[in-house]
Structure 1
Amino acid sequence: MTDSEQDALTAVERAMVAVRRSQTRRSLGRLAPPDGEDRPVDPTLFGVLDAVEERDGACSVMDVAAALGVDQPRASRLVLRAADEGWLTRAPDPTDARRTLLALTSEGRDRLDRTHRLREQVFARAMADWPAADRVEFARLLTAFVEGFGREVGSAPRPAARDSSRVEERGI
């Protein structure tokens, strides 16, 4: 390995530590629009909505627990809170009556879409002085890195759960 390759690995490791510290402080989770009554929204509930969105119709409480890295009782409480907010529905799984399937309500979908748009605006401002080609390349490389890292650590996330073709269309 050349010195420049080692320097690049060191830079990636340091950047990932900085991202992890930022996530520990839930900075991304705090980037959620307030509800209609301007109440602050618990960022953890957006993790629930993100997990349900990612599974797209085949999501259980155990799936939410795995996505959030919490135990089943904690996931159940979070799912119940999201359902009480009107963001999720719960229905018995037709193939296994012991299991409950979760789905976003139209209000939950709206809340999630508004949050995604707000976060994308923050990311766009963070990269505002980048050339468009660099933003597109960064999106491609970051997505590839997340997928490769997930395979390496045994938890391949699905960063492209949303329509990733919009990256090139919007120049993000």
Structure 2
Amino acid sequence: MADIETAVVALRRSRQRRALARLAEGRDEHVGPHAGLPDAVFELLDAIEAGEGQGLALTVTEAAALLGVDQPRSSRLASQALEAGLLRREADQHDGRRSLLALTSEGRDVLAGMRRFRRGIIAEATAGWTAEDRAALARHLTRFVQDFSAITPR
């Protein structure tokens, strides 16, 4: 348990230091002309795509909760993504007062580039690993994230 806890804390510290974002500096081909946008805008795109994967469309307020930011910050991030052409607003068909955020095709392209970049970094970090070790990490890490999510509040 101590080794797992240490690894989880190290991952959290790495995220807080925005290690992946720093690796991306100078390799902006994965986001193209949107390289000047804050990293949090791309985190918003990730959250919206994750919601879509669960059959959910997010409002700015719901996105704020997922990102762990306040509603005004989420609104600013959404505005930046909207202005950049990465998101669009859609009316909620069940509640006309709600405005849902949806990815544009350009937003999907940016996310695809980000996924290629992140997967490349993971491949680089695990280059000396066997295929079996990579598969075991994928299986166990996925299970850990699912089980951890099940016991933590949203």
Whether these two folds match at TM > 0.5 is: yes
Give 1:14 shift: 0.6
Counterpart of 1:90 in 2: which secondary structure? strand
Query: Structure 1 length normalisation: TM-score?
Result: 0.79
In structure 2, the residue matched to 1:47 is 43
CA distance in 1, matches of 2:64, 2:34: 28
Aligned alpha-carbon RMSD (Å): 1.7
1 or 2, which has the higher helix percentage? 2
In structure 2, the residue matched to 1:4 is none
Q: Deviations over 1:127-146 (max 9, x none)?
A: 01111011011001001001
Q: Which has the higher contact order (CA 8 A, sep 6+)?
A: 2
- Given the alignment of the two structures, is residue 13 of structure 1 paired with residue 5 of structure 2, yes or no? yes
Letter in 2 for 1:24: Q
Give 1:19 shift: 0.5
Q: Alpha carbons of 1:145 and 1:39: their partners in 2 closer, same or farther (altered >3 Å)?
A: closer
Residues 29, 46 of structure 1: 8 Å contact kept? no
Counterpart of 2:76 in 1: which secondary structure? helix
In structure 2, the residue matched to 1:152 is 151
CA distance in 2, matches of 1:52, 1:43: 15
Unaligned runs of 5+ in 2: none
Q: Alpha carbons of 1:37 and 1:91: their partners in 2 closer, same or farther (altered >3 Å)?
A: closer
Question: % of aligned pairs identical?
Answer: 46
Unaligned runs of 5+ in 1: 1-8, 156-172
In structure 2, the residue matched to 1:102 is 101
Give 1:38 shift: 7.8
Residues 87, 105 of structure 1: 8 Å contact kept? yes
Letter in 2 for 1:26: R
CA distance in 2, matches of 1:85, 1:132: 39
Q: Alpha carbons of 1:90 and 1:31: their partners in 2 closer, same or farther (altered >3 Å)?
A: farther
Query: Structure 2 length normalisation: TM-score?
Result: 0.88
In structure 2, the residue matched to 1:27 is 19
Residues 34, 84 of structure 2: 8 Å contact kept? no
Q: Alpha carbons of 1:90 and 1:117: their partners in 2 closer, same or farther (altered >3 Å)?
A: same
Shifted more, 104-113 versus 31-40: the winner is 31-40
